[in-house]
A and B are shown apart, each in its own frame.
Chain A
Amino acid sequence: MGQKRSTFLFSALCFGMAFLYIPMLLLIIYSFNYSKIVPVWGGWSLRWYKVLFESEEVWSALTLSLKIAVMNATFATLLGTLAGLALVRFGRFKGRTLFSGMITAPLVMPEVITGLSLLLLFITMAELIGWPGERGITTITIAHITFSMAYVAVIIQSRLAGMAQDLEEAAMDLGSKPIRVLVDITLPLLAPGMVAGWLLAFTLSLDDLVIASFVTGPGANTLPILIYSRIRLGLRPDINALATIIIVVVTIGVIIAGYLMLRQQKQRERDMQMAAQEVVKLDA
């Protein structure tokens, strides 16, 4: 019985892993394919990497995407943190429930609708006040901020809720005015949440195709828009190369983050064990 179940679990694991990783593996392999027609094997080669690096279009799309992602992440973290603070720490103000409901709406709203409504807003604004005159990097950034801010607010909210309020009260008791408490205590303790929020906002922005294609204008192609428009004309080997590079970068990032987190946790455990052992020694 036990044997049977473990075979079942093992095969389920294998299928799951295969389903997740075989497509990526294929992509990586085909990125080294010499042949111009993707599914036909033409031998190992770095040809498409060379094509990719020589392509002006890809580079400018990548720069645009990174620019938007950084701006978006920074502003979304700022606004999302403020929203989270307002929701958790400012007590019960009028309309709090409405506010907390509305701030999470972008999380559940279909992207198509968010994109469409933002496009309508930009067009109306251009008609009325003449800004934004041209859609592009600014409109995409604004659009991204609106939805990634909601994610940041949720992260900050949950971190704040888990953070005991007595630390802030203690600071106030020791003579800090509320703004000082925010700078000295709340923000340093929120820092990990803000970093997580920034990274999430960055990723969301880098990843977004739907909203960006609604609000973009002539000439402003983000990386996802570029990839999608090229793929529409059929599979292309240089896009495989680009995807492989992205996979490698992400993998390295995840490994570094995981290593740092593990090290920090181990250090913490060691510290706590040391403190406990000292007490035992003193008692003896």
Chain B
Amino acid sequence: MSQQADNQDRPWLDPDAEPFIKVQGVTKKFGPFTAVDNVDLQIYRGELFCLLGGSGCGKTTLLRMLAGFETPTSGTIYIDGAEMSQVPPYERPVNMMFQSYALFPHMTVEQNVAYGLKRDGVAKADIAMRVSEMLKMVELTPFSKRKPHQLSGGQRQRVALARALVKQPKVLLLDEPLGALDKRLREQTQFELMNIQDQLGITFVVVTHDQEEAMTLSTRIAVMDEGRFVQIGTPTEIYESPDTRFVADFIGSANMFEGRIVENGADHVVVRVSDPRIEFFIDHGMSIKEGTKVWIAVRPEKIKISKNAPTESGANQIQGTVLGVGYLGNLSTYRVQAGSAKVVDVTHPNQSRPKGDRHAVDWDDQVYLSWDPSSAVVLTK
């Protein structure tokens, strides 16, 4: 009982929950090229799920298969319990917001939004009501008689959203929904999108290449590379416990060290790195044999930087020379030469004002870098 209550917001943790979208062993080939390679995926009702990856990783192809524009070469797709892989797009309970918005240029805003309802044979009065409701929600009522070319980019985006939502689809697919907007509008729209999703409770599947967008929007993220999922998890899981070097590097930035396990205790692991010569002490046990080659990832903001030597010497600290300082106002980034070839990136919030032009840590300073035993992540691939 309490377990269920705990997982209400996180249905993917509940073993009894029935996925709303189920992708099973789906492969899509274009000639000799495999765009999507035997993927499995479960998305639950009400999720805001992000497919994240670089260009050509297969995320858009997967989205197009959910919409019905592509048929899987093999595998099955279920949406709300119904098998979908052979159902044409016009019979799916799914709507899509296109990256280009794809507004019909020969129709007004109103006609664009009404189009889907008209095709469904909804009564005229009903159409008018639902369209005006939808336009009110996206704050476009005064623009209802305009043609798409008479709108700004942000307004067009909202028309596209209204048009896709007005049919109350079971799933809304969004292809790079914020890609064409400038930075300020993006941030604003991002939160609007989350609000709308919350209000309507429709399951959203978003494709994006922008990790920041994925982090803020989604309940869960699937990181894709070369047609496969590299990792699926909540934004926190993906960022704090990446499974692979690819994920650690793709989401945010990470300092990567190559080393070997030299000690494997029940509650700790020690990894020795040769360049720079340091030992990483990790405060949890792992099922890895001693001597295995591993990589250690440490996020730049998890590293403390100081001109004073730490009181205890030992693991999880190195000495280095500051090669460069990037002052960003709210925080500074430091590049520290630690080993013979290794440069470590550190970011540090500027919690006190620098005196005049003198910063606490500056170019060519000798510094000590240290981090908590829980901050470093051990990666085996």
Q: Looking at the assembled complex, report how far the CB atom of A105 sits from the nearest CB atom of chain B, in whole angstroms.
A: 29
B100 at interface (Cβ–Cβ under 8 A)? yes
The majority secondary structure among interface residues of chain A is: helix
The interface bits of chain B over 129-173 (1 if a CB of A lies within 8 angstroms of the residue's CB, else 0) are 000000000000000000101111011000000011001000000
Which residues of chain B have a CB within 8 Å of any CB of chain A? 67-69, 88-90, 94-96, 98-100, 102, 104-106, 115-116, 119-120, 147, 149-152, 154-155, 163-164, 167
Contact A176 B119 (CB under 8 A): yes
Q: Looking at the assembled complex, report how far the CB atom of B377 sits from the nearest CB atom of chain A, in whole angstroms.
A: 40
The interface bits of chain A over 247-281 (1 if a CB of B lies within 8 angstroms of the residue's CB, else 0) are 00000000000000000000010011011101100
Q: Which residue of A lies closest to B105 (CB)?
A: A189
How many Å lie between the Cα of A274 and that of B88 in the bound state?
40
Instruction: Assess A174 versus B119: contact at CB under 8 Å? Given A164-B100, A169-B98, A189-B105.
Output: yes
Interface centre among A170, A172, A174, A177 (most CB of B within 10 A): A174
A218 at interface (Cβ–Cβ under 8 A)? no
Instruction: Assess A279 versus B152: contact at CB under 8 Å? Given A171-B115, A172-B90.
Output: yes
CB contact list, A136-192 vs B, under 8 A = 164, 166-167, 169-177, 180, 184-185, 188-189
Instruction: Assess A278 versus B152: contact at CB under 8 Å? Given A171-B115, A175-B116, A175-B120.
Output: yes
Task: Give chain A residues whose Cβ lies under 8 Å from the Cβ of B90.
Answer: 172-177
Contact A174 B167 (CB under 8 A): yes
Q: Looking at the assembled complex, report how far the CB atom of B116 sits from the nearest CB atom of chain A, in whole angstroms.
A: 3
Q: What are 24 of the A-B contact pairs (CB < 8 Å)? A: A164-B100, A164-B102, A166-B98, A166-B99, A166-B100, A166-B102, A167-B102, A169-B67, A169-B96, A170-B104, A170-B163, A171-B104, A172-B88, A173-B67, A173-B69, A173-B90, A173-B96, A174-B119, A184-B115, A189-B106, A271-B147, A271-B149, A272-B150, A275-B152
Q: Looking at the assembled complex, report how far the CB atom of A277 sits from the nearest CB atom of chain B, in whole angstroms.
A: 9
Q: Which residue of A lies closest to B151 (CB)?
A: A275
Set B116, B150, B163: member contacting A271, Cβ < 8 A: B150
Task: Give chain A residues whose Cβ lies under 8 Å from the Cβ of B151.
Answer: 275
Contact B155 A275 (CB under 8 A): yes
Task: Give chain A residues whose Cβ lies under 8 Å from the Cβ of B100.
Answer: 164, 166
Q: Looking at the assembled complex, report how far the CB atom of A86 sits from the nearest CB atom of chain B, in whole angstroms.
A: 20
Q: Looking at the assembled complex, report how far the CB atom of B108 sits from the nearest CB atom of chain A, in whole angstroms.
A: 12
How many Å lie between the Cα of A185 and that of B147 in the bound state?
15
Contact A180 B98 (CB under 8 A): no
Task: Give chain A residues whose Cβ lies under 8 Å from the Cβ of B105.
Answer: 167, 189
Would you list the 5 A-B pairs with minimal beta carbon distance, nearest first? A174-B116, A175-B119, A170-B102, A166-B102, A271-B150
Task: Give chain A residues whose Cβ lies under 8 Å from the Cβ of B104.
Answer: 167, 170-171, 185
Task: Give chain B residues whose Cβ lies under 8 Å from the Cβ of A278.
Answer: 152
Task: Give chain A residues whose Cβ lies under 8 Å from the Cβ of B119.
Answer: 174-176, 180
Q: Name 20 extra pairs, CB < 8 A, besides A166-B102, A189-B105.
A: A167-B105, A169-B69, A169-B89, A170-B102, A170-B104, A170-B163, A173-B68, A173-B69, A173-B89, A174-B90, A174-B119, A175-B167, A176-B90, A177-B88, A188-B106, A189-B106, A271-B150, A272-B150, A274-B150, A279-B152
How many Å lie between the Cα of A275 and that of B68 in the bound state?
34
Task: Give chain B residues whose Cβ lies under 8 Å from the Cβ of A167.
Answer: 102, 104-105
How many Å lie between the Cα of A279 and that of B185 in the bound state?
11
How many Å lie between the Cα of A177 and that of B91 in the bound state?
9
Set B89, B147, B163, B164: member contacting A172, Cβ < 8 A: B89
Task: Give chain A residues whose Cβ lies under 8 Å from the Cβ of B94.
Answer: 173
Task: Give chain A residues whose Cβ lies under 8 Å from the Cβ of B89.
Answer: 169, 172-173
